[in-house]
Structure formats: C-alpha cells, structure tokens
Amino acid sequence: MAAIPEEANGRARLLVKDEGILAGVELAREIFAHFDSQIEFIPKLSDGSSIRKGDVAFVVQGKARSILSTERLVLNCMQRMSGIATLTNRLVKHVEGTGVKLMDTRKTTPNFRFPEKWAVWIGGGKNHRLGLYDMIMLKDNHVDLAGGIEKAIIQTKEYLRALNQSLTIEIETRNLAEVDEVLRVGGVDIIMLDNMTPDAMREAVKRIGGRYKTEASGGITEETIREIALCGVDYISVGALTHSVKSLDLSLKMF
C-alpha cells in the first residue's frame, strides 16, 4: 500500500526452484479468490504434477497490491504442501507392489492439519483420522489408564453403545502378548503394531490371520519401510510425513 499505486495492475508467475511433487495449486486459487475475486488465476500445472527447477506452476494477473498481499501466504502453503507431497510420493514408491497403504498421523502443525493431510493425499498417501472425533484409537496411555486391554475395549464399546454411535476402533499393541490379548477379547477393527521388530510383526500378522486390519507404526524410516511392508501389514503410518518434512523452494515473480 505504501509503494504501489492503487490502480496498478500486474502479472506474476509461480516459479519452481526445486524438484518434487507439486501441491497447493488449488489452495492458492482459493486464497487469491478469497482476497480479491477479480484476480485471474491461470494454472499451468496441477496438484500432483512432477516438477523440476524452471517450471511455472501458474500465472496470476490483476491488482498488483492484491498479488503482493497474498504472495507470502500462497508461497508458505505451497512450499510446505509440496514438501509433504514429495516425501509421501517417495515413500509410496518404496512400498509399491506390497499392497500396503501409506498413511499420515495427527502429528501435524496446529491450525494447518487439513492442508497437510491434503498434501499427503496428493502425494499418493492415505489420510488417517482427521481428529479425535472420526475414529477411536486406543493408544498405550489409554490402555494403561483404563486398566488393561480388555477393560479399554469393553469400556469403549459400552461408551459407543450408550451414545448410539458406530466408529472404527483401533488399538495399539506393543508386543506379541498384547496382540494375543486383543485376539482373545476382540471387538476392534484395526490392530496397531507399534515399534515392533520385523520378525515380531511377521509373527503378529500370522497370528492375526486376516481377522483384523493391521497397521505398522513407530520409528519407520525411508530405509526400513519396505522391509516392514513385506511383513504383511495392511497399513504403515509415518508421522514424519508432516512433522519432519523439508519444504520445496518456490518463488512468485512479477513479470
């Protein structure tokens, strides 16, 4: 507002300065439209596109003040989303052919969960629950405070029955003994195998025998993910998709 005349118009393009998977194009469109409905948005690439240095993701034209006012928000969102989509896509390729689905977690940035999970989806991953409201996950703390696996499951089923609600129930197990107890009690939909060795996971999957879906979680890296996928689990969740990702380098330049 200080430097640019109110009547000035301009054009800008989103320049890619990195390699990876593009994410946030549609969010950028919404940001520009929300701030100034007269801005013209011309996409050149779509969400999920493979990108390299020198590519142009989109062009915008309209009031120069509006473009400059929205520039940083658009870049911050797209850089982070593209970083998440890039890492997700790389890990998805590591588990190709195994039948495993890669999932995110709730280890997200406060007030930015939806765009981060959107980016995981763009990168080829699967969204886990969005919050505490759309699925029940009985983690180690819940089990311990409830007085054990059996009590945690029974009390959860009674809670849902009292509210006349039907939600997916997942329970975390830390060892084969806990897996066996869940199999004895029943009443869940997914069994999480948390921080288990590949050998323990293979044995757990064998004991479960397809009666419940299985999820591997805890400390999974790019180096270990394929070995874990080959253990026979249905899902692998990786918190690093959203809590340890490196943003891609993007720039908005007037021309």
What Å distances lie between residue 73 and 3, 27, 249, CA to CA?
20, 10, 14
Instruction: Count Cβ atoms below 10 Å from residue 93 Cβ, excluding itself.
Output: 12
Over range 175-187, report the average pLDDT.
98
Over range 130-153, report the average pLDDT.
96
- pLDDT the model gives residue 206: 98
Over range 165-191, report the average pLDDT.
97
- pLDDT the model gives residue 215: 98
DSSP string of 105-117, one letter each residue: -S---TT-HHHHH
Instruction: Give tens-digit pLDDT for 120-133.
Output: 999 999 999 999 99
**115-118 own/partner pairs: CB under 8 Å, 24+ apart:** 115/24, 115/27, 115/77, 115/80, 115/81, 116/80, 116/81, 116/84, 116/242, 117/242, 118/23, 118/27, 118/81
- 206 three-state secondary structure: helix
Angstrom distance (rounded) from CA 98 to CA 212? 18
Looking at every residue in the chain, the average pLDDT score rounds to 97
- pLDDT the model gives residue 193: 98
- 147 three-state secondary structure: coil
Q: Where are the domains of the chain?
A: 9-91+246-254, 93-243
- Given this structure, which CATH class describes domain 9-91+246-254? alpha beta
Instruction: Give tens-digit pLDDT for 50-80.
Output: 999 999 999 999 999 999 999 999 999 999 9
Instruction: Give tens-digit pLDDT for 8-54.
Output: 999 999 999 999 999 999 999 999 999 999 999 999 999 999 999 99
Instruction: Give tens-digit pLDDT for 215-236.
Output: 999 999 999 999 999 999 999 9
- pLDDT the model gives residue 200: 97
Helices (H), the chain: 25-35, 64-94, 113-122, 140-146, 149-163, 176-185, 198-208, 225-229, 240-243
* Residues 21 and 55 sit within 8 Å (Cβ to Cβ): no
Angstrom distance (rounded) from CA 218 to CA 103? 12
- pLDDT the model gives residue 247: 97
Percent helix / strand / coil, the chain, rounded to 5 = 40, 20, 40
Helices (H), 55-148: 64-94, 113-122, 140-146
Question: Angle at Cα 220 formed by Cα 169 and Cα 138, nearest 5°?
Answer: 20
- pLDDT the model gives residue 144: 97
Over range 182-201, report the average pLDDT.
97
Q: Which two tokens stand for residue 152?
A: 């945690």
For domain 93-243, give the fold: TIM Barrel (3.20.20)
CA proximity to 87, closest of 252, 250, 243: 243
> If you compute the radius of gyration of the chain from its CA atoms, what whole number of angstroms results?
22
DSSP string of 224-240, one letter each residue: THHHHHTTT-SEEE-TH
- 13 three-state secondary structure: strand
Q: Which residues are catalytic, by number?
A: 72, 107, 139, 172, 194
